[in-house]
Structure 1
């Protein structure tokens, strides 16, 4: 239960009367402030003493008339905060104390006075409600203090410096003692407080009331509502009426005292909570600054008239708490509300120096104590301009405590180009239906693939940002969306930049290039990036990084001029967040063009500090380029052995170790290949095959067969066959070669093993022809010779033997030639 006891006493009525009676004032300048809100435009006039006033219709809009003609208005700052959609012009009226408002739209005006005395005029969209007191026309010829008579329909009347008879009001005011008039009062209890007048006698309630003047033919301006009492008490007292004070009923006084006593006890016991207004440090503000600030708030005027007492049971409290709890993520995690990241309202379009000076002035109040609200306001202004480091410095210097401090620190880091990452509180809020989702997405350097993102909340918050922040953060946000495949959301970011007023500039070109690259249109995207990278735009660094990364991802060589630009910017920005990235891209750009001398030299002379993880990744990627088959063997071997220490420091990963070991083994450096294959790489299938190959190079067939144990792929079978042949088991080698379809190799191993029949079937063509000539294969010359007739004489036989000898010698020469490769 929350309570704040309020009571209307006779003393309060005295103050109300004293604040309404016209008193002499000196000439004054009333400052007019303004503000645009959802659905209405608000004007606030710091009237100070809240004189009587009227507001009514004119031909071009409305006119405000104060009951003072010794004032003028300061209108210099009116259109600094608002547009001319609802208020086209504002100027001093035809007479002193008047203010003319030109309203070009289908709008209506209302007015009220705040509790602090500021006069507020709201110009709202749409037609005025029926019976609005502010829609009546003002009489151009009437004076400021001439209040029109009321119409027969009872309309509220506000306090004025002129008596208004016949109106629905409990109080009537007089012009002063010099007028000779007496104050008239409808409530007899107030008569005792009028000074300088005799107490008129009371009048019987049945006496005839004073006549009400008839309304004028021309409608006059209505005045603001009266809040001093019920509309029924409209009697006009005569001078003969005796008026005696009506003291409060003692029972009411006793009940009030008992209630306050019991509430005090409950508050002391912690059973109730007193809702007290916050006290702010306004020592440096003008007298009525607080009233104007209150009036400029977009809260509805009627809110101040609501009851200040709230009561509920514990069941109501627990039930409502489930309805009004703060927004959460789908998993039930905490979400920051929209107000935590309301950057659009933390600054305006005035020069930064002026706004910063205004916010710095009230930082320290009485006794040199910092004002927490002022410190937070200054930090938020810095964030509005994108100054993250300055905002962190302000928060740290004054040591303020607020539930928003953590969020503001993380926001400042993001605005400075940093990425708090998974350790940030906001990083888990990507699924929130508030502005926190935007900053949660930007907090990640790379969004997790399974991250739940509320795209609608992200895009709403992004579109609400000031234009300069929208252009600054647009490329980063688009890149985050594209990294997880949300191309439609990236296009929405692009559209938000395009529809902002003014020239979108390079931010739009950069986002367009990102979308082209993500859509597979590399040529179009890289062409736009190259133009931007070669310019002097602040986004040229981002464009250069994207242009080089795109070429490296496609395996293309980077142009030398882009590599030179990366080198120059890496040196210039070596202490910034872009420094390590530009150093890495410069080195890899040199490597992509096979200029490994400059690449490794740049690595050894890295400009500026760099995280170890970035240097290690750069070294591994550079050696991966070196190991590609496009580089010549001689260049590969020279650069490898010259810069092997860089590789050892970087720690090659599995794939890089295998690639380099294979190339080293192919060039005969089996010992270095075996060194690279120690550990995890040597236990992989590919690593075991490489180790078997190295063993065969060192004539160790047994070691090769040991490495190949359990491997059943084709390459492993070929290595086994080679190891069997090296070990002298040619029959096994022939069988293994035949099993993998290497018939010619199987035939050679069969020849070596003495299996001429298999060799004649599977060997090379020359080997089969030679074996046929030696009558080894079926259906050869032996079988054919048996069908020939036996020669008749010795000379014929000798001639046949000579021919056969020549044939065998030719077959042997052919067979030797077929196996001259060592088979």
Structure 2
């Protein structure tokens, strides 16, 4: 038995292969090229070659490539597919024919493959091998100064490594010749020079502040000339989160902290700079000069782990209270961050309120909580300047403002980068809001890019895509297509359905379209369900105006009366103004009068906009309610020029010509002249009324005043046919003398002439009376 066990163990040892090395492949998208980064360890041999349909990268045997997240951040435009070959050591990159390969290696060993626009300089024929690019002994690319995280989002490097010709694998290095000793003297490590410059700057700053402090590292600094494949300080420094949200050296594309392998383990900082670092990020300034907050305060992805949400919340709820049940601010903020990253903004705000930390907590967390819940944050003036920051805060500053900023003040590149780095559920939540805001600032092309990012998400986000497409249609004037998309989303059971319903109804109302009954009932039900929130208030407005669009003013005014405490009083006031403006346009006279006087006690003139006051006043004047027409105008509106005109109409409706004329004193324009002419006509000053009507360009009213004033010449030139015929028959001018040779009329002929003249005069008078009715 023992012999059998030994044999079996030997067989297992012989058959067990060497564990395959896993290489992560990361990606980034740029304007003119797509980037792949193969995270090889230092000293790895590799090569690339052009093959039919794309390119091939070959690594040492027993290499396993992790390709799971390649297309999470890039589209399938230049790079159409990427797959590992069956030989377990190479990767095939399928590309379009109009691109070419650019490749270089980083000092940390990672290989950067850029698939750039533009065809290969030489045509490729299948079967014709091209020179391969192999990994050199050292890299010609200078080491970055700020870490490798920016590599995946920056432009292409200005200094590219030249293609190295393959060297003979077994060629021995030539022995040094006499006299070459001085030529091979090693220059000081560049990191040492950088450390010296940093120390000099910091010591000078400390001296100017009156303080000099220095904290040396806990572990000894490694020899910078070590040749074991690791940089100095690569394993001596503890792994910590970067101080100001700035990625440290060794961070991967996801922003997870790694080890700093490109600088010495040495840091200098003054006490004043250290104490003020919580409020300002050194070197992170917007174009306007405002200091930008650190990225760590807006990195939602880093606030989550791979554990289940319930487990993450349970862990974050530990140690919330200190001695004497005093809440720990940092622990409470950590739990709030977990809530926000999971899309639970209301729970995050309630957390601060329950512990009484509303004033002490970071205001950015409250803003983020409102945004992920779809609510409008409280105004925070300092946040407006952050749209120009080249960091994650630009996204939140853009969507959190109550009014859209100027296009020139928005860093759209930072906004898109921050949006792409969000967790997928949060990206889906704020995508429509971001699209709306981009369209409002006149960046519909950027909104289309956001839509494309969301399109690569799972299928359950299709409602958000339809909503964003509808917003783009509206921005381009395709109203009918937009309303069709919005109605489809509103009928779905997605989280964006309520917003789609609101936008659909508002769009139809602006086009003068009556709102269907089912949409009004849907809005009413959702308003009750979401009561007490911004979305619920907007749905209540939709319900009210939707009923009014079909002349159902009784339920509209009743819903307005029940709407007592909205979160935004401005929304209720605007809804009331819009409702009364729709009432003023109601064509049914009897319904207008009954509805107006039934619900008149619900509001005062001061609550209405001047335009709505004047519209109601004019409608009441036409209906003959001159007292109510004046009462609906506030004192401030009465003193304005449109208000004085409305007061004049109300006075004319009450046949008070003198009051109407007094309201018009000093007013110019055709409308004022027309009303002045009407007032003068009522006063019997027809000659002056004729002049006023002429100033107003009212031809018919002018001729009527000329008729009343006895200006027969004016009537003869431009009067009606009945007026001219009447003047011809009843004119005071003497009849023409009879011809001398004409025989005098006999009694019978004279009588017949008189009868004919009388009939003509009677007909002319009857026609004139008929025209004057």
Q: TM-score range by the shorter chain?
A: 0.5 to 0.7
From 680, 686, 690, the equivalent of 2:646 is 690
State whether residues 773 and 808 of structure 1, in contact with CA within 8 Å, keep that contact through their aligned partners in structure 2. no
**2:684 aligns to what?**
728
Task: Give the corresponding residue for 1:782.
Answer: 735
Q: What pairs with 1:97-112 in structure 2 (closer than 5 Å)?
A: 104=89
- 8 Å CA contact retained: 2:530, 2:536: yes
For residue 534 of structure 2, give the secondary structure of its aligned residue in structure 1: coil
Alignment counterpart, residue 111 of structure 2, candidates 125, 144, 148: 125
Q: Please give the per-residue CA displacement for 1:314-369, whole angstroms capped at 9, x wherever unaligned.
A: 9xx9xxxxx99432233212211333322222224442123334444576799999
The answer to whether the 8 A contact 1:570-1:580 is kept is yes
Alignment of 1:653-692 (within 5 A): 653-692=609-648
Question: What residue number does 1:791 align with?
Answer: 743
Within the alignment, does 1:302 sit opposite 2:261 as a pair? yes
**CA contact 2:407–2:442 (8 Å) conserved in 1:** no
Cα distance change, pair 771–731 in 1 and its aligned pair in 2 (3 A) = same
Per-residue deviation at 1:474? 0.2
1:558 equivalenced with 2:515 (yes/no): yes
Q: Residues 348, 700 of structure 1: CA spacing in aligned structure 2 closer, same or farther, 3 A cutoff?
A: same
**In the alignment, structure 1 residue 638 sits paired with structure 2 residue 638:** no
Structure 2 residue aligned with 1:272, among 197, 212, 215? Answer: 212
With the length of structure 1 as denominator, give the TM-score of the two structures.
0.61
Q: Is the 8 A contact 1:616 1:650 kept in 2?
A: no
Match of 1:807 among 748, 757, 764: 757
Query: Do 2:645 and 2:664's aligned partners in 1 also have CA atoms closer than 8 Å?
Result: yes
Q: CA deviation at 1:526?
A: 1.3
Say if 2:340 is the partner of 1:383: yes
**Structure 1 residue 60 and structure 2 residue 18: aligned?**
no
Contact 2:407 2:443 in 1 (8 A): no
Find the counterpart in structure 1 of residue 659 from structure 2: 703
1:748 and 1:819 in contact (8 A); partners too: no
**1:328 touches 1:335 (CA, 8 Å); kept in 2?**
yes
Separation in structure 2 between the aligned mates of residue 693 and residue 373 of structure 1, nearest angstrom: 67
In the TM superposition, 1:591-630 aligns within 5 A as: 591-606=548-563, 609-628=566-585, 630=586
Cα shift at 1:706: 1.8
The answer to whether the 8 Å contact 2:239/2:257 transfers is no
Q: Displacement, 1:763?
A: 3.1
Local SS of the residue matching 2:261: helix
For 1:713-724, list aligned pairs within 5 A. Answer: 713-724=669-680
**In structure 2, C-alpha distance between the alignment counterparts of 1:457 and 1:664, rounded to whole Å:** 55
- 2-structure distance, mates of 1:368, 1:734: 88
CA distance in 2, matches of 1:487, 1:788: 93
Map 1:470-489 → 2, pairs under 5 A: 470-489=427-446
Kindly state the Cα deviation for residue 434 of structure 1 after the two structures are TM-superposed: 1.5
Partner Cα separation in structure 1 for residue 563 and residue 428 of structure 2: 32
Instruction: Kindly indicate whether the alpha-carbon contact (under 8 Å) linking 1:513 and 1:528 is maintained by their aligned counterparts in 2.
Output: yes
User: Are the counterparts in 1 of residues 40 and 111 from structure 2 also a CA contact under 8 Å?
Assistant: no
Structural mapping, 1:504-583, within 5 Å: 504-583=461-540
Instruction: Give 1:562 deviation, angstroms.
Output: 0.4
Whether 1:438 and 2:395 are equivalent positions in the alignment is: yes
Contact 2:339 2:345 in 1 (8 A): yes
1:707 offset after TM fit, Å?
2.0
Equivalent pair of 2:371/2:430 in contact (CA under 8 Å): no
By relative contact order (CA 8 Å, sep 6+), the higher-ranking structure is: 1
Q: Does 1:647 align with 2:603?
A: yes
CA contact (8 A) 2:553 2:595 kept: yes
String of CA shifts for 1:273-318, please: whole Å, max 9, x gaps: 1326799xxxxxxxx9x978799974455357x2537699x9xx9x
Deviation at 1:618, TM superposition (A): 1.7
- Report the CA distance between 1:569 and its aligned residue: 0.9
1:341 alignment partner in structure 2: 298
Q: Report the Cα distance in structure 2 between the residues aligned to 1:683 and 1:516, rounded to whole angstroms.
A: 43
Question: Aligned runs of 1:493-508 on 2, under 5 Å?
Answer: 493-500=450-457, 503-508=460-465
Q: Per-residue deviation at 1:521?
A: 1.4
Inter-partner Cα distance in structure 1 for 2:528 and 2:359: 40
Decide whether the 8 Å contact of 2:239 with 2:259 is kept in 1: no
C-alpha distance in structure 2 between counterparts of 1:766 and 1:634, whole Å: 36
Deviation at 1:582, TM superposition (A): 1.0
Corresponding position of 1:765? 721
Alpha-carbon displacement from aligned partner over 1:751-781 (angstroms, at most 9, x marks no partner): 444444544444321121122123557xxx8
Compute the displacement of 1:419 (Å): 2.5
Deviation at 1:567, TM superposition (A): 0.6
- Alpha-carbon distance in 2 for matches of 1:698, 1:617: 32
SS at match of 2:418: helix
Over 3 Å counting, the alpha-carbon distance change for 1:653 and 1:715 in structure 2 is: same
CA distance 1:36–1:424, shift in 2 (3 Å)? farther
Range with bigger deviation, 726-735 or 521-530: 726-735
Q: Displacement of 1:491 after TM fit?
A: 0.7
Q: Deviations along 1:704-747, whole A, 9 cap, x unmatched?
A: 22222233433333333333332222333344445555555545
CA-CA distance at 1:660 after TM superposition:
0.8
Write the distance in 1 (CA, Å) between the matches of 2:269 and 2:756. Answer: 127
Secondary structure of the 1:515 match is helix
| CA–CA distance in structure 1, aligned partners of residues 626 and 750 of structure 2 | 57
Structure 1 residues 359-386: Cα deviation after superposition (integer angstroms, max 9, x where no partner): 4457679999988776554443333212
Structure 2 vs 1, CA of residues 739 and 519 (structure 1 numbering), >3 Å: closer, same or farther? Answer: closer
Cα distance change on mapping 1:648 and 1:449 into 2, 3 Å? farther
1:195 maps to none
- Give the Å deviation of 1:393: 5.6
Greater mean alpha carbon deviation, residues 561-570 or residues 330-339: 330-339
Question: How many angstroms does 1:623 deviate by?
Answer: 0.9
Distance in 1 separating the partners of 2:566 and 2:699: 60
Contact 1:435 1:458 in 2 (8 A): yes
Going from structure 1 to structure 2, the CA distance change for 1:800 and 1:657 (only over 3 Å counts) comes to same
Do 2:371 and 2:400's aligned partners in 1 also have CA atoms closer than 8 Å? yes
Deviations 1:419-474 (A, max 9, x none): 32542532331122221110101111331457721111111111121221111110
Q: Give deviations 1:381-438, integer Å, cap 9, x for gaps.
A: 3332122344456667789999992323322232232332542532331122221110
2:329/2:361 contact within 8 Å kept: no
Which whole-Å CA distance do the structure 1 matches of 2:464 and 2:360 have between them?
Answer: 34
Tell me if the contact between 1:375 and 1:395 (Cα under 8 Å) persists in the aligned partners: yes
Question: How much does 1:807 deviate?
Answer: 1.0
Structure 1 match to 2:368: 411
Change (3 A) 1:636 1:299: same
Q: CA deviation at 1:565?
A: 0.4
Structure 2: runs of 5 or more not aligned: 1-20, 28-36, 42-58, 71-86, 93-107, 113-133, 140-169, 173-202, 220-234, 242-249, 275-279
Aligned equivalent of 1:327: 284
Change (3 A) 1:84 1:791: closer
Flag structure 1 segments of 5+ consecutive residues without an equivalent: 1-31, 44-56, 63-77, 86-101, 108-121, 133-216, 220-262, 280-287, 318-322
Give the Cα separation in 2 of the matches to 1:104 and 1:374: 47
Cα distance change, pair 488–58 in 1 and its aligned pair in 2 (3 A): closer
Matched position secondary structure for 2:402: coil
Q: 1:516 to 1:749 in 2, by over 3 A?
A: closer
Query: For residues 324 and 293 of structure 1, what CA distance do their matches in structure 2 show?
Result: 18
